[in-house]
């Protein structure tokens, strides 16, 4: 009897694993300096959502925001310097977010204002 219950449990787990993997909404966006993979939730309610990105990109192009160049790759988790970088508010007509944005190495990024840490790279 125990063997039958164990076999059913293993079978249910094996059948349910692919469904659980598909339900995850996280997206890999880069590698941190320590070599760890950085995972960002693409449905982060505080960031720019997939639906808001086209309007946000149009806004950035229209505003002609200058780019700030850094020698390293632009990835989530990088802290930007406090001098030389200009941070801008995201207009509420495009998205509602507590973060600010700037353009680094030609890529638009959302930055946590207090720490200057990149929280999202907008592709």
The answer to whether position 19 is within a domain reads no
Select from 123, 33, 36, 42 the least CA-distant residue to 78. Answer: 33
CB distance 31 to 39 below 8 Å: no
Domain-embedded: residue 110: yes
Per-residue pLDDT band at 83 (split at 50, 70, 90): confident
Within-domain flag for 34: yes
| pLDDT, averaged across the chain | 76
With respect to residue 4, please indicate whether it lies within any of the assigned structural domains. no
Tell me the per-residue pLDDT of 51-78, one tens digit each, with 9 for 90 and over. Answer: 999 999 999 999 998 999 988 888 999 9
Average pLDDT score over residue span 99-120: 94
| Cα–Cα distance list, 39 to 30, 32, 107 (Å) | 8, 10, 18
Q: What pTM value is reported for the model?
A: 0.62
Q: Is residue 16 part of a domain?
A: no
Q: Does any domain span residue 114?
A: yes
Residue 82 — very low, low, confident or very high, per pLDDT cuts 50/70/90? confident
CATH assignment of the domain containing 68 = 3.10.450
Residues 39 and 27: their CA atoms lie apart, in Å, by 6
Q: Is residue 11 part of a domain?
A: no
- The range of the structural domain enclosing residue 53 comes to 26-122
Number of domains present in the structure of the chain: 1
User: Is residue 13 a part of any domain in this protein?
Assistant: no
């Amino acid at each position: 009897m125990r063997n039958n219950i164990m076999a059913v449990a293993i079978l249910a787990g094996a059948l349910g694993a692919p469904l659980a993997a598909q339900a995850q909404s996280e997206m890999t966006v880069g590698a941190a300096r320590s070599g760890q993979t950085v995972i960002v939730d693409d449905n982060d309610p505080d960031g720019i959502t997939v639906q808001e990105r086209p309007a946000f990109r149009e806004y950035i192009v229209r505003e002609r925001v200058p780019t700030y160049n850094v020698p390293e790759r632009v990835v989530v988790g990088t802290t930007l310097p406090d001098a030389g970088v200009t941070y801008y508010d995201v207009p509420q007509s495009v998205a509602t977010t507590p973060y600010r944005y700037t353009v680094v190495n030609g890529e638009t990024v959302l930055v946590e204002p207090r720490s200057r840490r990149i929280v999202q790279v907008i592709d």
